[in-house]
Amino acid sequence: MSANLQACSFLIGRLRKEVVRLRAIAFPGHDTGPRKWLNFISGLLDTASSYLTSAQVPSIPDSEVARLIKEAEHLGENVYQLLTYVAGADSTQIPHQVVAPFQRWVSGLGITNTVFFRAEHLPNYELSRVDMRHAALLAGASHSLVDATNSIVWPALRVSVPGHAMGLLPHFAVVGHELGHAIQDRINPDLMPFNQQIMEAVNRAKDRLELEAIPFGHEQSLRVVAILGAWVNELKADAVAHHLVGPGFFFALCGFLELAGQGYGIAPTHPPTDMRRRLLFELLNQGSPSFASVFSDKTQLVLTEEMNSPNVSRCFGADLMYAELKQSLGSVDAAVCIELVPAVEAFAPKIFQAALSELQTNSADLIYTPDQFATDLDLHLESLCHLVPPIEYRDGGKATACGLSTILNVGWAALLTRVDRFPAPKGIGPTEQVAARMECLHELLLKAAELSEARQLWEEQ
């Protein structure tokens, strides 16, 4: 047996042991996403093993042996990467109480893809898509790989949330945005009336680049498509989260952006942060009653755009921003990003409306309204200050479990306006007292998520 075949066999064996170890771990929630993923990985390992077995057949030419071993090595390396995909999906990393309520959002939004949630030690919320449906067409794919590939609904979706210190429950409202990405293809606003504005933006970008003698060809057009697509999808996801969680999402997104860098946010992947915040704030002020008016009525605090994100940077004029941005993004991406801003802001309301229509058609039960917000604050805000978590409410004599959006919104209202009314822990200084009270609120909200889910399960039986 050649040395590289031996080394590869050893790698595959070690990876199998790792899969066995992961199979013994409890993954929270009702979903089987991580298990399906581990089955897929096992299938790849079985395929790699079959390549190594074939490579040992004496009649096979040397070139074929080399190819088989190389491809087995390739699969082994891939499996090593794919294992990181489930890292943090176990209960030690992600608060187990939130996974089942998140899964209710998943099913309520009609997301049929294979999904799993995981936490990582990064200030990042992310929906990662992996599409490996063609893995079953690897030559000599094992039966286990074919079965596992077919049992996953591709693209597989992994929702990442920050772990540990940054994993404060109210911030998890941002998961609504990530799940919005999962249904973004179902939201189809008619943006053709804005085509002229888009073309004008592209022409302005061309003009900027022409001054630097940079031609505008296929490659640059692809950048426009990629950036515009990413920005539209970000706004679709913001819209879904807004309609799902209301002010809870505004507070969570802005609070997270304040903690995670406070930058302009403008990049090929995201429109400017101040524009997103402005658009969401406008939504909170629409209608009668509006979310903003309810918040002010119930908390006696006026909701402002910068309430929990005073340090997020606002973009300045296009020329200055371009000069700054091209240092980090390069001229093409910087020119496209800068010039797209006005066009995207102009059609954003269409996106929000299309998202609402989609939810009204397919997920009406999940839409969070100002009336519900008012009821939630009436029923739970004071009680929460007396350490009673928002688990259930009386609805005509019948107790009904609180939804996750209720818990998040009551949590945010308490966090922003009532933390000083939580009982003061003894024996610690004034600075630590605020943190201790917030920790107490976090624990109460986790308890609410866990017990309301238990209540809901009980009602469903």
Partner 1 sequence: MHTLPASDLALQHILRSGLAVVNDEPIDQARRTDVLHALVEIFSDAQRGSQALAAQNFLMSANESPAFERFALFFRYLNRTCGNDLPQRIAEATQVLSAIEEEHELAPDAKSRVADLFQHLLSAIARESALSPLVSPRELRLSF
Nearer to partner 1, 195 or 361 (CB): 195
What are the b/e assignments for 63-76, b being 16+ CB within 10 Å?
eebeebbebbbebb
We find the least distance from the C-beta atom of residue 443 to partner 1, in angstroms, to be 32
We find the least distance from the C-beta atom of residue 308 to partner 1, in angstroms, to be 29
We find the least distance from the C-beta atom of residue 217 to partner 1, in angstroms, to be 9
Q: Do 214 and 250 contact (CB within 8 A), yes or no?
A: no
Nearer to partner 1, 217 or 429 (CB): 217
Nearer to partner 1, 225 or 320 (CB): 225
Give the residues lining the site for partner 1 (CB under 8 A).
44, 71, 74-75, 77-78, 81-82, 128-132, 134-135, 137-139, 155, 185, 188, 191, 195, 198-199, 202, 218-219, 221-222, 224-226, 228-230, 232-233
Q: Do 377 and 299 contact (CB within 8 A), yes or no?
A: yes
CA nearest to 457, candidates 392, 412, 395? 392
We find the least distance from the C-beta atom of residue 253 to partner 1, in angstroms, to be 20
Whole-Å CA distances, 290 to 12, 44, 202, 251: 58, 53, 37, 16
Nearer to partner 1, 1 or 137 (CB): 137
Whole-Å CA distances, 259 to 20, 275, 313, 424: 38, 18, 12, 25
We find the least distance from the C-beta atom of residue 21 to partner 1, in angstroms, to be 21
Query: Distance (Å, rounded) from C-alpha 320 to C-alpha 332?
Result: 15
Query: Distance (Å, rounded) from C-alpha 386 to C-alpha 357?
Result: 39
Query: Distance (Å, rounded) from C-alpha 392 to C-alpha 451?
Result: 9
Query: Please, which residues bridge with residue 34 across strands?
Result: none
Amino acid symbol at 84 = T
Nearer to partner 1, 154 or 393 (CB): 154
Nearer to partner 1, 226 or 379 (CB): 226
We find the least distance from the C-beta atom of residue 199 to partner 1, in angstroms, to be 7
Task: Decide: helix, strand or coil at residue 226.
Answer: helix
Q: Cis link prior to 289 (omega < 30° from 0)?
A: yes
Nearer to partner 1, 75 or 253 (CB): 75
We find the least distance from the C-beta atom of residue 140 to partner 1, in angstroms, to be 9
Query: Distance (Å, rounded) from C-alpha 392 to C-alpha 153?
Result: 34
Nearer to partner 1, 134 or 394 (CB): 134
We find the least distance from the C-beta atom of residue 181 to partner 1, in angstroms, to be 11
